[in-house]
Amino acid sequence: MRSLAWPIVLASAGLLLLLVLPFTHAIAPRINGARRWLNLGVSIQVSEIAKLAVVIWAAMLCAKKGAEVKRLSRGVLPLLTVVGPLAALVMLQPDLSTAVSIVLLAMVVVFAAGARIGHFILLGLVALPLLWRQVEGAQYQLLRMTTFLDPGSARLSDSYQIDQSLIGFGTGRLLGVGFGGGQQKLGFLPYPYSDFIFSTIAEEWGFVGVLFVVILFLGYVLLALGLSRAAGDPFRQYLGVGLAVMVGSDAFLHMAVGIGIVPTTGLVFPFVSYGRSALLVAMIATGLLVNLGTRRRQVVA
């Protein structure tokens, strides 16, 4: 896998570039105001593949550099020379939340490798004004932020998604209305199969079902971190941390969106949301994590 890091990240960059070129609309149509899917016989959401590629590549780079990642010029900055353009291509789709996710995943890996916290603070101070300008320049992103920060003054149409999501949670109560019995997905809750599928789970399975799902993902992340800690070499350790955070952050941010404690992002719910690209990436990540445990047992034996 280490030897495939560069080919994977370069292939992801090429596919992301196809999404923003002006003459590729035949294979990269604009859907709901964004060009996020490549139609190559099957529909591919390239940004999901890019997240996995960044984790693998960042783990390879950090393992190669070793203690040098503690230096700004050898750790965070070289990482940004590759991750930055990838995130920029994703932002051009536009997809700000996934672009930020890609950068943060790379930063998590380099932090696990020993990069200094001061480097991330410096990076954050530089990036925040740029992100805010991006949000101000995109009306839908600004609307999401203002609706989240002051929901009471938002127009009913602006807060409609989160209002309907919370209605689903309230309807579910303790045990839910039963599998398939939810009403919010019948034209009331937008994207009940993807962006707000957690609300559908809450309505049909109630608090007990929600708690079960939270425990499952928490167990997944803790087990993945345990496997990465026990891995035999730095590359596999950093890879395990990155994969754990990739799956876990998507899951818990999706849940947080559903209950209205973070702005609407459009991040998928791993293993659950509709979409083959996200499911495939989550399954590959799980397979790589299982491989970490298998290799560990072979070494011990």
Given a cut of 70, is residue 260 above it in pLDDT? yes
Q: How confident is residue 136, by pLDDT bands cut at 50, 70 and 90?
A: low
Instruction: Determine the pLDDT at residue 162.
Output: 84
Task: Specify the higher pLDDT residue, 6 or 138.
Answer: 6
Task: Specify the higher pLDDT residue, 168 or 301.
Answer: 168
Q: Say which residue the tokens 């896998």 belong to.
A: 1
Phi and psi (nearest 5°) for 38?
A: -95, 130
Q: How confident is residue 79, by pLDDT bands cut at 50, 70 and 90?
A: confident
Instruction: Judge contact between 180 and 211, C-beta under 8 A.
Output: no
Domain ranges of the chain: 1-137, 150-301
229 φψ region: left (φ > 0), alpha (ψ -120 to 50), beta (else): alpha
28-77 confidence digits (pLDDT tens): 988 878 889 898 888 899 999 999 999 999 999 999 888 888 887 777 88
Given a cut of 90, is residue 108 above it in pLDDT? yes
Is the overall model pTM greater than 0.85, yes or no?
yes
Task: Round the average pLDDT of the chain to a whole number and report it.
Answer: 86
